Amino acid sequence: RLVQRPHFLAVAMGTKGLLLLWALGSPLALSSWASALQLPSKPVALSRRTALLAPVASTVAAVVQPSASFAASPNGLPLTASSSGLKWADAKVGSGQPLKTGAVASIDYSMASTAGRFPQIYTTKDKGAPYRWTLGDGTTIAGIEKAIIGDDDIPPMLPGGIRRVIIPSNLGYEALAAPNSKCIEGLPGAIGPIPPKDDIGAYQRWYTFYCNPRIPYQPDIVLDIKLYGKRTN
């Protein structure tokens, strides 16, 4: 079968707070980000279905492949659940002015799925090609736009900020569950972000989860987002 029963990752919480896994597949020192974490007023412990887990040293987070031992761990990162179903937590709060509909957004992101043997999908980090689009133009999944612009119960991101979001299928790629041109980056009607086709492994993993008519269920999307723009400090 293309997709087996989900295996899950969870986020380890240290005494200093969140050590966010920003570069999926690449170790990164994150101690400075941990001190910037502001825990939500209404924390929601991630379920097994929506947990992303990384083993953490004191200053370094590194990716490991999923395994039954930590898939069964009851501990998870406390996120705030919005009324839309999107869950979020800030690893770093940015500065400056929030973006609004009509503005050009530029982000680096790391994407993973909450299902599959190898849930990590793709990251733009260190590739020199951030994902860019005009907010509200219909080319990007609603969950990312809500994470950046904000919503009734989600504060907007500020330039330089880093946010983790868990996006349900109705705010993700649900409309792409059919074999069509919308599944290819750059073609008319495409809804991004979509891993580039020249990265065969990443594109195939994304396609299997989010653009495959043979799979009726789309798992939640885990995204770590870094927003670029003019900061005030």
Q: What angle do CA 227, 110, 180 make, to 5 degrees?
A: 105
Question: Each residue of 84-103: pLDDT tens digit?
Answer: 999 999 999 999 999 999 99
Question: Each residue of 140-159: pLDDT tens digit?
Answer: 999 999 999 998 799 999 99
What is residue 166's predicted lDDT score, i.e. its pLDDT? 96
Model confidence band, residue 188 (pLDDT cutoffs 50, 70, 90):
confident
**What's the half-sphere exposure (Cβ side, CA atoms, 13 Å) at 229?**
23
The amino acid at 192: G
Give the whole-angstrom CA distance, residue 93 versus residue 82: 18
CA 203 to chain centroid, in Å, comes to: 16
Segment 209-214 shows an average pLDDT of 84
> Mean pLDDT lowest for which of 21-25, 55-59, 98-102, 136-140?
55-59
Cα–Cα distances in angstroms (integers) from residue 48 to residues 2, 52, 138, 157, 177, in the given order: 20, 9, 31, 27, 24
Question: Of 179 and 217, which is predicted with more confidence?
Answer: 217
Please identify which residue in the block is written with the tokens 């990716």.
63
Segment 174-202 shows an average pLDDT of 78
What is residue 109's predicted lDDT score, i.e. its pLDDT? 97
**How do strand 10-11 and strand 53-54 relate by DSSP bridges?**
parallel
CA 112 to chain centroid, in Å, comes to: 7
The amino acid at 83: S
Tokens of residue 164, six digits: 């983790």
pTM metric for this prediction: 0.68
**How do strand 87-92 and strand 28-29 relate by DSSP bridges?**
unpaired
Helices (H), 116-173: 142-149
Residue 201: helix, strand or coil by DSSP? helix
The amino acid at 139: T
Q: Which domains does the chain have, with CATH numbers?
A: 10-227 (3.10.50.40)
What is residue 155's predicted lDDT score, i.e. its pLDDT? 96
CA 167 to chain centroid, in Å, comes to: 7
Residue 159: helix, strand or coil by DSSP? coil
